[in-house]
Amino acid sequence: MNKNNFKRISHNIWEIPRDFKEGMRVPARVLSSPELFGGIDHKVIDQITNVACLPGIKKYALCMPDGHMGYGFPIGGVAAFSIDDGVISPGGIGFDINCGMRILRTNLTFDELRPKMEELLSRLFATIPSGVGSKGFLKLNRQQFNQLTEQGVGWCLENGYATESDAERTEDRGCLPNADHRTVSEKAISRGINQMGTLGSGNHYLEVEIARPDEIYDPVVAGRYGIDRDDQVVIGIHCGSRGFGHQIATDYLQVFSRCAGKYGLRVRDKELMAAPIKSEEGRRYASAMACAANSAFVNRQLITYGVRRVFRSVFGKSDQELGIELIYDVAHNIAKFEEYEIDGKEETLLVHRKGATRSFGPGKKEIPEIYRDVGQPVIVGGSMETGSALLYGTSEADEETFGSSLHGAGRTMSRMKAKRTTRGDTVKQRMKESGILVKTGYMPGLAEEAAFAYKNIDAVVEAVDALGISKKVARFYPVLNIKG
């Protein structure tokens, strides 16, 4: 594969033409920077050009700057499909359906946090379950869990686990409306019913971060989002639908494999197994996927409920005094029906975002009214050693990338290789020396998530900022981390 043969559309966009691979229905585009583009794995190119072969795909198959090899789609992959002849694919959404991230602002500063760091970390670790198989504080019966998966954050609001502001500042108010628990298997329910309010494992985390004044890039927008004081304490939560979403993806990959012949579907990679959007199987998966997405919104909301409880106890202050308010919650692994202009005509498309986030520009009705004139907050998670970034969505994203942007730093090394390269206790000590305290129930997991296993978060953020599909607002640096 010779990347020099790809067409350079602009400084930060490379196009792979349809004749690159037999069966491509549209070109593929890689959004990156010259420095990052040189490091993109050939497997990512193979995956994104396979996506370009799927029926009903519109305009381009897109790969964001944080792109790396995934299951089916590359992580960082975006594609939009016609509802008339297009498909829905679990490989374009991910096993951890609605793995996503939220950022909370507080009235606290680092000076107020510093003397209580160890106590706060211990209390958070004791309150927020993490790791493989972890169980939450809620004891739900089947009816309650079914309601939760169909109502999303609305269920939390009704039951006292969320505020109206929380619901308003969650993508789609924390509820995909087409959820139907009857499309979900018993096995999926059994895996998810006890996991609400838990981080899980892998790259999931709860992080206390600091907004340094020298890295507030747009003070006006930052102020609108609630970043309004020097060395402000913010809280990041990164997790998803846990075993519930994983089982739903597993179930429907098997369903789609069995029905492919009925619809004459041929895919270049079995990981891209799909079904027509309008088919019975496709509609059922979309409803089950929505259940998982709603459960993930609830999961992050319940963790927020626990975080507020711990902060009240440790700092001896009320919610109003602490000012712990949600800035925004964004989904990373999801498919949604959205309106876009294609060849001069408005069309409803099913947009798959796999390790990518929505990045809607000003004026879109889907953005909370409080942010509608500045654009949707875009949250970018880095490694546990580097922190996260806050950006805002733009009209350029609406026009060029189906309202999409990057979601994180993006891995450069497999978890297995990272564990062969370093030890968890080495990473923990290095983080401590850098001023970051961390707790985990699984020390090898720290090695898996070491900073060197990821791309430079500042480099990928600069790439989308230069493209104009998201613009920089602020950079946050970690001081406390609970690793799943």
pLDDT, tens digit, for every residue of 48-92?
A: 999 999 999 999 999 999 999 999 999 999 999 999 999 999 999
pLDDT mean over 167-190:
98
Residue 474 pLDDT exceeds 80: yes
* Of 330, 396, 328, residue with least CA distance to 362: 396
- Residue-wise DSSP of 196-253: TT---STT-EEEEEEEEEEEES-HHHHHHHT--STTEEEEEEEE--HHHHHHHHHHHH
Q: Compute the average pLDDT of residues 212-239.
A: 98
pLDDT at 2 over 70: no
Catalytic residue among 68, 238, 332, 407: 407
DSSP type of residue 75 = E
For residue 407, indicate whether it is catalytic. Answer: yes
Residue ranges per structural domain of the chain:
3-86+100-412+454-483
What is the H or E stretch that residue 100 is in? strand 100-109
Q: Residue 112: which pLDDT band, with cuts at 50, 70 and 90? A: very high
350 membership: H or E segment, kind and range: strand 345-354
In this predicted model, what pLDDT tens digit does every residue of 187-222 receive, in sequence order?
Answer: 999 999 999 999 988 889 999 999 999 999 999 999
Tell me whether strands 205-216 and 333-342 are parallel, antiparallel or unpaired.
unpaired
Which one, of 156, 158, 183, lies nearest residue 294 by Cα?
156
Instruction: For tokens 């497999």, name the residue.
Output: 414
- The first and second tokens of residue 7, run together, are 């067409």
Strand pairing category for 61-68 and 437-440: unpaired
Contact in structure between 254 and 284 (CB atoms under 8 Å): no
pLDDT at 24 over 90: yes
pLDDT value, residue 454: 87
pTM for the predicted model, two decimal places:
0.96
Pairing between β-strand 232-239 and β-strand 345-354 as defined by DSSP bridges:
unpaired
Q: What is the mean pLDDT of residues 133-145?
A: 89
Q: Could you read off the pLDDT of 272-331 as tens digits, one per residue?
A: 999 999 999 999 999 999 999 999 999 999 999 999 999 999 999 999 999 999 999 999
Q: Is the pLDDT of residue 444 over 90?
A: no
Looking up tokens 């139907």 gives: 180
Mean pLDDT within 391-418: 93
Spatial neighbors of 151 by CB under 8 A, at least 6 apart, are 158, 175, 294
CATH class for domain 3-86+100-412+454-483? Answer: alpha beta
Question: DSSP assignment, residue 382?
Answer: -
Start-to-end C-alpha separation, the chain: 37
